[in-house]
């Protein structure tokens, strides 16, 4: 009986972790600091904006490291954000709890307006 309860509890925990992994998504865009917040402007037609936040309780602080890097990087700064969407109160109401940052590249834009303006 005790073993089956432990196995059931373990399976429930694994199921919760699998669900959390499904909530993650990839957001591609450019980043800059506005009003002391790191903002991702997504490379989509609507140019959706998200406040980037380090996840609570995590030792890794990718957004804090990015904020420091942005002081010396040439804009625009391209990045691929792996994160979880969170609705917040504020101007835009959109935030991402960041899990990881990939493909950081200074001087690169993925916005259509920038591509059309360079011709």
Whole-number Å distance between alpha carbons of 99 and 55: 7
pLDDT in tens, 56-105: 888 899 999 999 999 999 999 999 999 999 998 876 689 999 999 999 99
Whole-number Å distance between alpha carbons of 59 and 45: 34
Whole-number Å distance between alpha carbons of 95 and 88: 6
Per residue in 91-110, is it b (16+ CB within 10 Å) or e — as a string?
eeebbbbbbebeebeeeebb
Whole-number Å distance between alpha carbons of 100 and 109: 19
Q: All domains of the chain, ordered by start, with CATH? A: 25-117 (2.40.50)
Q: What is the pTM of this model?
A: 0.76
């Amino acid at each position: 009986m005790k073993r089956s309860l432990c196995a059931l509890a373990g399976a429930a925990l694994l199921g919760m972790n699998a669900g959390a992994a499904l909530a993650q998504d990839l957001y591609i865009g450019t980043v800059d600091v506005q009003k002391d917040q790191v903002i991702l402007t997504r490379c989509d037609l609507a140019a959706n904006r998200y406040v980037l936040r380090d996840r609570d309780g995590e030792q890794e602080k990718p957004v804090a490291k990015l904020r420091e890097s942005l002081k010396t990087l040439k804009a625009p700064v391209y990045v691929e954000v792996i994160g979880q969407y969170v609705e917040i109160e504020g101007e835009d109401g959109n935030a991402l709890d960041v899990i990881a940052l990939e493909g950081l590249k200074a001087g690169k834009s993925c916005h259509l307006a920038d591509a059309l303006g360079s011709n």
